[in-house]
Amino acid sequence: LERNQLDKAENYLRDAYSFNLDDKDVAMTYACLLCQLNRSQEAAIILKELIAQGYETVKVNMLMSIAYGMNGDSFMADKFKAISSLE
């Protein structure tokens, strides 16, 4: 996606997420976009909530692994990757 389209997507998803925090699909999509925008620390906050709620644990744990990897924390990245493979 072009930068302008990413900005529009971010605005849309941020608004959708803030209006309905219970929509786990929107939360997951927003976290994915945040990772794509190299904002993995923000994504990790959303992902931790999704993990606590038991939402699609394999996908969420894999994305959490990616987020930690982006932050340079290979230990936590490996931990969440291993957790996702156990599911």
pLDDT tens digit sequence for 3-60: 778 889 999 999 999 999 899 999 999 999 999 999 999 999 999 999 999 999 999 9
Residues 6+ apart with CB under 8 A from 11: none
- Pairwise CA distance, residues 65 & 87, whole Å: 14
User: Tell me, what's the pLDDT at 1?
Assistant: 55
